[in-house]
Amino acid sequence: MTDHPRIAKSLLLAVVLMLVVTACGGAGGEITELDAALVAEGAELYEAFCAECHGSDLRGTDLGPSHLSIVYEPGHHGDGAFQIAVLIGATPHHWDFGPMPPVEGLTEEDVEAIIAFVRQSQREEGFEPYPP
């Protein structure tokens, strides 16, 4: 059958879209106190892998948005959205920066540390309005 690759690709796309939609609606909007060692590890990884586009201060650059935007509060973009963006990249749906490519060289645990750093920073700094 000649449609198998097309059907498989469509099915994979549907699964990925379901994951992204699910990740965008994380449970609750509360940011809790996080383990200081995990946050410190995440800060180093963020600087090495994320800061070029999202800024060392998490306030974004001309290459990527601020992670302090209300768009990234846990109730809208849950932690799973960060994992998916790093793993497979992200199609822009809030910003005009273009697509985010997958980030090579990070483990799931590394991304969890980065998320801990981002969430702790959001807790301390608060959120910026959207649109900026």
Interatomic CA distance for residues 93 and 78, integer angstroms: 15
Count of structural domains within the chain? 1
Task: Choose among 53, 95, 49, 45: nearest CA to 70.
Answer: 95
User: Does residue 131 fall inside a structural domain?
Assistant: no
Average of per-residue pLDDT across 114-130: 97
Residues 6-62 pLDDT 10s: 555 544 544 454 444 444 444 444 555 689 999 999 999 999 999 999 999 999 999
User: Does residue 40 fall inside a structural domain?
Assistant: yes
User: Does residue 94 fall inside a structural domain?
Assistant: yes
Structural domain boundaries enclosing 56: 4-125
pLDDT at 23 (0 to 100): 45
User: Does residue 130 fall inside a structural domain?
Assistant: no
User: Does residue 110 fall inside a structural domain?
Assistant: yes
pLDDT at 27 (0 to 100): 43
Task: Choose among 45, 57, 41: nearest CA to 86.
Answer: 45
Residue 2's pLDDT band (boundaries 50, 70, 90)?
low
The CATH number covering residue 30 comes to 1.10.760.10
User: Does residue 24 fall inside a structural domain?
Assistant: yes
| Contact predicate 64/51, CB 8 Å | no
User: Does residue 132 fall inside a structural domain?
Assistant: no
Interatomic CA distance for residues 98 and 118, integer angstroms: 21
